[in-house]
Structure 1
Amino acid sequence: MQTCELVNLADLDTGSASVRATIVSYLGHLLDLGVAGFRIDAAKHMSADDVEAIVGALPSDTVIMSEVIRGSASEPIQPEEYLDAGSVFEFQYARDLGPGVRAGVTGDPQLGAERPLHVPSQKAIVFVDNHDTERGEASVTYRDGGLYLIANALMLADDFGTPVVYSGYAFSDRDAGPATDGSGAAVAWTCAGVTGPRDAYADGDGVCTEGWTAIAGLLELRRWAGDAPRLPGVDDGDVYGFERDGRALLLVNPSGEDAAAVVPTGLPDGEYCDVVAAGASAGRDCTGGTVTVTGGNASATVPARGAVAIHLGARR
């Protein structure tokens, strides 16, 4: 048994049949109310066998995402131990992605279904930052504006893992909670009119990443890419990108100046709407710009600290 008494959190005896039954009953009630699944916080502080036993008593279609922070290779508890209970958050993904984006140097990870110090793709929940790491180890957060958009674009266009787009609230004190009213209740924020990163945020403002035009377009790109593998990267000057074999193409520019680029691609010839600028297909008019593919090359102007993306469904 792993004894892990955390601050203000009782260490339940999850090896006990009665404790497990109580937990399963509670989770089952939440499922009856319409919950689809659960994020298991600090799962590494519970025995993997206990987690698996509890999850195994739930309906087979219950979504399980365990937080098992990967430490050094010498640590006795590793994320791989929890894969029989469902997916796990792969912290190494953000650790590999963020520093390069921060430094303005982007490049290929090891391509394929498995990457060093990552759980297999089908079990990996990947992210740029989350509610914990944005206050600590994350290399890129909402404060980085266009670079944050680039990091999310690289994740969403990738073929690895299941991505989570994080959206929180702005803060200047790393220990601050959300804005509250006189009764102590959190004050709701609005995302009306928010279409992308803002130049400045006041404490308590919603970052509203989920409302960004680019995120909608990149989610559509991911659907169009389907199971097409990520191909080795291409570059032209400050512009780096990669293709999802014959279905989609992403280009990013972490520099401070707009950059014209011509890169090889397997997409069919034609003119494509840039879905980063135009968003998802509903009502798209291509006013945000286009990418031209001719004779196996894609030509585009990629904005400073921004991205351009196309897919087969965005062909005009």
Structure 2
Amino acid sequence: MVMGRVGVDLYPLQVGVSLREVETFGKYLGGSAANVSVAAARLGRSSALISRTGRDPFGLFVHDALREYGVDDAHVLDVPGLPTPVTFCEIRPPDDFPLYFYRYPKAPDLEILPGELDLAAITGARLFWATVTGLSQDPSRSAHFAAWRARGRAPYTVLDLDYRPMFWERPASAAEQVRAALEHVTVAVGNLDEVEVATGTREPYAAARALLDSGVELAVVKRGPAGVLGMTARETVEVPPVKVEVVNGLGAGDAFGGALCHGLLAGWPLDRVLRFANAAGAIVAGRLACAPDMPAEYEVTAKIAEGGRDDA
């Protein structure tokens, strides 16, 4: 079960130019939480999303897309008076993908009320994934903490450190909320910028140790071209990067997240979990869209085989 951001991505079909020059766009399901739920479903997991949309055509599109991808949308409600968010990006491979979020006057996914939560479903889920964005405003913030209190740090309770500075008044507010959230989760995952917000350091090993000291059982630090670091109290695993010709890097982290969920639920060794997640992220980095381009398990296994033997 995944809780958090959902909306519509409008991605240019012309690459390497500014939005000022783009003539046509593709319309896709978007939002980090929604993408993770799709990525998990594509890998064969039973997946459900807790979020909110506007009562508008884009909101209906979100429901259509979630159902098409096999994600349970029963916990995605609409909020009258607020439009479904739209996100634009520019595509400038290999590493420049500026995002423009239209979440005004307020995104519906920040209007999740604690009293609306299906706590039985949340506590019964084998894995519960939430993002830092949901902590940026109330009532969503209170709803997240209500969900975590209900789970009582049951495995797997995952916090995606997904930090977007434009959603916060100041970085210190984000750091405060993340530190409070870490007390309730068992897994934390983020890139170097995100772990720095959470821990005060971007040195990967120091950040991972700080996350463990906060109470999580597994810390995952995504290091970009340096690969991925995973750390528990008993082991430290480093996974090298997967080579790919980048088309659009925006969905790679969400593909990584869905694949991480899959590997954890499968009970794989940490090394295999991280290699699988890394390969899934690389596949989506080589594709244009996010949700519709999430890979199936056979595609991830094939990508791993390109660079070495999978331990399956």
| TM-score normalised by the chain length of structure 2 | 0.34
| TM-score normalised by the chain length of structure 1 | 0.34
Bigger Rg, which one: 1
Higher helix proportion (structure 1 or 2): 2
Which has the bigger relative contact order, CA under 8 A and spacing at least 6? 2
